[in-house]
Structure 1
Amino acid sequence: MKKLTKIFYCNVALLLFVLLLVGCTSGKNEEAKTDPSENDSAFQSEEEINDTEESNLIDKEGDESESATDDSNETSSQETRNAESNNTSKSEEDNALSEYSSEEIEYARVWLQLGPNQELDELNVRHIPAGEPINPTDDTSASYPEDVIQLAGSRLVDGSVTYSGNGDGTINIYIVPLRWEIPPADVDENFMQEYTEDIIENTELVYIDTGDDEKIIEHTDIMNIH
């Protein structure tokens, strides 16, 4: 009887231990299922990572945009400085010629472009009114139909340029020699008239460049206007 009682109590104790073990295991599983703190923490950590990456991306785009704006501003500033420099240079060039008249500048430009010899001792300017004979040494010569200007050096080798201005940057060139030779006695008496009329009919229209300001000043400084 005592033996059976002992066995009974052992079985009860064993049963209680098993039930207790099962209860503990079930509680742990339930806690793992029902406690959202760890999952929430994991999700929160992932969201924080995404927010951090998005913030870094926005900051990077902002830096790039700011850098592009700075580059654009720097380019614009450089262009402005270049424009101001060009305007200053142009203003200085205009000031360099400001003490000379427009006529003097025109004479110098015409000679610089068309003068046979640029190494002059002096540049002589002579105004010839309309009606003057083209060849003043011959009574049969045709006359200039308009006022003309003759530019010449101090020597025959310097050559000459005879022209009329049109007021638009162009001139009419008259191919007239600086010194007229006496024609032979046996030539036709109408030779000079026909020759000078041909000069009038075959004037050449030429556009005059602005030229180099320094050379213009050099020529105006040796200019004699008659």
Structure 2
Amino acid sequence: MKKLTLASVTITLSLILVGCNSDTSEGSNNTQSDNTDNQAKTEEKNKDDAAIEESKNNEVTNDDKTEASRVDNTKNNTNKNESEEKQTKNNKESYLADFSSKEIEYARIWEQLGPMKNNMKGMDTLYVKEIPKGSKVNPQAENSAVYQEDVVKLEAPIKAGGSVTYSSNGDGTINVYNKVPYRWADSQMSDYSNMDEVTKKAIEENIETVDVKPTDNKTIAELASKIEYSK
């Protein structure tokens, strides 16, 4: 009887130990599985974080590249514009390189005030007469008044083309003598008895101060090339 009881106890203990081992093994397996899952999640999170960080870095890099590209484009456009402006300026200046400052002045004044421009029929020559101070306003009249300053007279080849008589103020403005005609009438065809009064009025009345405006240099060069000095 004692042997039977001992055997029963032994079997019972064995079953208990087996159960414990099974629980321990299962717990160990569960723990290992949990650890594996956690590791996988951690790795996945790290990958996601790395991807996000890389995306941010790429965005920053792209922004930097875009800004650098914009700056380069701006510089290139600026350099291009400066180059074009310089070329344009050089071209404009080169048109006038063969002419004196006086010739350029004469051409500009005629282009602005002349009744007949260089692109009109008959304007093959621009006559320039430089008249010193003290010269007679009407060279044909003994009793003519005299100019109180140096003047210049610009004339078209024909009377219909008109003329411009002026003095320069040296500041970009001129005084235009509007009453001085293209040609004074011959003494045989006009009464010269009061020519002193007529010529005096011509240089004292209706004097207009005009600003000389810069204009297309190519046109001025073409006109300046037609200048011919007369006495």
Q: Same fold (TM over 0.5)?
A: yes
Aligned residues of 2:126 and 2:223 also touching (Cα < 8 A): yes
Equivalent in 203, 207, 210 of residue 207 of structure 2: 203
Counterpart of 1:17 in structure 2 is 15
> For residues 97 and 191 of structure 1, do their structure 2 counterparts lie closer, same or farther at Cα, with a shift above 3 Å needed?
closer
> For residues 157 and 184 of structure 1, do their structure 2 counterparts lie closer, same or farther at Cα, with a shift above 3 Å needed?
closer
SS at match of 1:70: helix
> For residues 123 and 198 of structure 1, do their structure 2 counterparts lie closer, same or farther at Cα, with a shift above 3 Å needed?
closer
Q: Does 1:136 align with 2:139?
A: yes
> For residues 215 and 66 of structure 1, do their structure 2 counterparts lie closer, same or farther at Cα, with a shift above 3 Å needed?
same
Q: Does 1:173 align with 2:172?
A: no
- Mapped to 1, the partners of 2:23 and 2:200 lie a distance apart of 133
- Mapped to 2, the partners of 1:34 and 1:223 lie a distance apart of 107
Counterpart of 2:65 in structure 1 is 66
> For residues 132 and 191 of structure 1, do their structure 2 counterparts lie closer, same or farther at Cα, with a shift above 3 Å needed?
closer
- Mapped to 2, the partners of 1:40 and 1:121 lie a distance apart of 98
SS at match of 1:172: strand
CA deviations over 1:113-132 (Å, ceiling 9, x no partner): 10001121311100111122
Q: Taking structure 1 as the reference length, what is the TM-score of the superposition?
A: 0.80
Q: How far is the alpha carbon of 1:40 from its aligned partner?
A: 4.4
What runs of 5+ residues in structure 2 fail to find an aligned partner? Answer: none
Comparing 150-159 with 136-145, which one deviates more in the overlay? Answer: 136-145
Aligned residues of 1:148 and 1:162 also touching (Cα < 8 A): yes
Q: Taking structure 2 as the reference length, what is the TM-score of the superposition?
A: 0.79
Identity %: 29
- Mapped to 2, the partners of 1:130 and 1:69 lie a distance apart of 66
Counterpart of 1:148 in structure 2 is 151
Report how many aligned residue pairs link the two structures: 222
What runs of 5+ residues in structure 1 fail to find an aligned partner? Answer: none
Aligned residues of 1:170 and 1:205 also touching (Cα < 8 A): yes
Comparing 13-22 with 170-179, which one deviates more in the overlay? Answer: 13-22
Which one-letter code corresponds to 2:182 in the other structure? L
